[in-house]
Every structure is written in C-alpha cells, then in structure tokens.
Amino acid sequence: MNIDMQTYLIYLLVMAGVTLFLRAVPFILLRKKLKSVFWSSFLAYVPYTVLSAMTVPAIFFATDSRLTGAGALLAAVVASLFGGGLVTVAAVSCLTVLGVDGLMLL
C-alpha cells in the first residue's frame, strides 16, 4: 500500500460522495428530461471514451511483458467481434496471457 490510511479515507469519501451526489440530487430534485441533443449525445459517448482511454495503452503495461498485453487486447477485440459476452471476452484475454507466458517459459 503506497498511501496512508487517512489519505485513503479522504479519497474514498470524495469518490463515494461525488457519486452519491450525482445519483441522488437529480433523482430527488429534477423532474424534466434533458432536451439538448448535443449534451445527451455527449453523455452517451462518455462511457465508451472513458473505457477505451483507460484500456489503451494501459493494457500493454498490465502484465509483465508488452507482448502478453498486446496479445490480450487483440484476443479481446477478436472475441467480442465474434459476439463474446463480458465473461467470455475476459476469460479469452486472461487465457491469452497465460498461453503467451507459458510459451515464453518453454
């Protein structure tokens, strides 16, 4: 653990507090729908852009070698292009890492 307990708790409080605020305040106060096409589109794109920015290039550094990370990404993309669900795709990428690691041990 690279941060102390107090720092962890403040981080946790900030993260949980902001998240609850975003969910509870509009749920309690707002009754109107968002009319702006631009802002609804913007928010609709956010999950995909966040997830892709977090995945690439981080996945290359998630394992001990760049090669296994790249293999895992490639395998995950191919598996989901073929219609694999969340768990299938995750399993395929994990197995790819194990397989490539295993090959390198030989």
| Footprint of another protein on 1-60 (CB under 8 A) | 1-3, 8, 10-12, 14-16, 18-20, 22-28, 30-34, 37-59
Provide the Cα torsion 56, 60, 61, 66; round to 10°.
Answer: -160
If one asks whether residue 77 binds another protein (CB under 8 A), the answer comes out as yes
Q: In terms of CB distance, is 30 or 106 closer to another protein?
A: 30
* Contact (Cβ atoms closer than 8 angstroms) between residue 22 and residue 46: no
Please tell me what DSSP assigns to residue 31.
-
In the list 4, 6, 81, 106, the residue contacting another protein (rule: CB under 8 A) is 81
If one asks whether residue 90 binds another protein (CB under 8 A), the answer comes out as yes
Taking alpha carbons only, the member of 51, 50, 102, 100 closest to residue 75 is 100
Q: How many residues bind another protein (CB under 8 A)?
A: 77
